[in-house]
Amino acid sequence: MADRYDYSNAARREKMFSIIRSAVLWIAAVGGAILLAFLLVHFGLAKTTADASMTPTLEEGDRILVDRFRYKLFKPSRNDVIVYCQDSDKDRKDAFYSVKRVIGLPGETVQIKNGSVYINGEEMTEIVNVDRMMISGLATYEVKLGDDEYFVLGDARNSSEDSRYATIGNVKKSDIIGYAWIRLNKLSFVNNLNRK
């Protein structure tokens, strides 16, 4: 009798430990998922809306998912579509985010002549379909970029307010929010749109 009683208690104890172990693993998985979602929302991903300055690549009102982590590891590359803050205080709720294409990289010179972009004196080959520029703005003469500055243009080259204008100028690396990753309303990768 005593043996059966001991066996029964051991079986109950094992079943109890199994239930507790399952509950702890479930709680850890749910907690981990919540933590991951929090980190993605607050440190990895953001959402913004495109304006007309990126037409025909993006239409006004297109919702964009922004990868905020990429540029913590890598530097922006030429032709990346980026999201940057036009306000010095990026953390303000009413800060204005802008979506543009990187044209000039740190240390380069940028000039716009005869409607085309010249990087360090050589004409840049456009990888997307854009109109020739009618306005050169600040880039009528060579613009020398600092060690942390980028020259950006909207794809609507004749109606975009971008680095050609004193109100925007060169974009500092610290003002870049992230990489325009996915267009949400018509699901596609932003940097694959409007390619030649």
Contact criterion met (CB below 8 Å) for 104 and 145: yes
| Residue 1 confidence (pLDDT) | 46
Q: Which is the catalytic residue, given 98, 100, 160, 163?
A: 100
Locate the domains of the chain by residue range: 1-46, 50-192
Active site residue 144: no
Contact criterion met (CB below 8 Å) for 104 and 122: no
**What is the C-alpha separation between 137 and 131, in angstroms, rounded?**
16
Biggest alpha carbon distance in the chain?
A: 101
| Residue 43 confidence (pLDDT) | 64
As given in the structure block, the two tokens for residue 38 are 């929090």
**What is the C-alpha separation between 92 and 170, in angstroms, rounded?**
21
pLDDT, tens digit, for every residue of 145-193? 999 999 999 999 999 999 999 999 999 999 999 999 999 999 999 999 9
pLDDT exceeds 70 at position 71 = yes
pLDDT exceeds 60 at position 90 = no
pLDDT, tens digit, for every residue of 92-112? 555 678 999 999 999 999 999
**Is 2.10.109.10 the CATH classification of the domain at 50-192?**
yes
Q: Which is the catalytic residue, given 8, 18, 47, 53?
A: 53
pTM of the prediction?
A: 0.78
Active site residue 100: yes
**What is the C-alpha separation between 191 and 79, in angstroms, rounded?**
8
| Residue 168 confidence (pLDDT) | 92
As given in the structure block, the two tokens for residue 136 are 């050169």
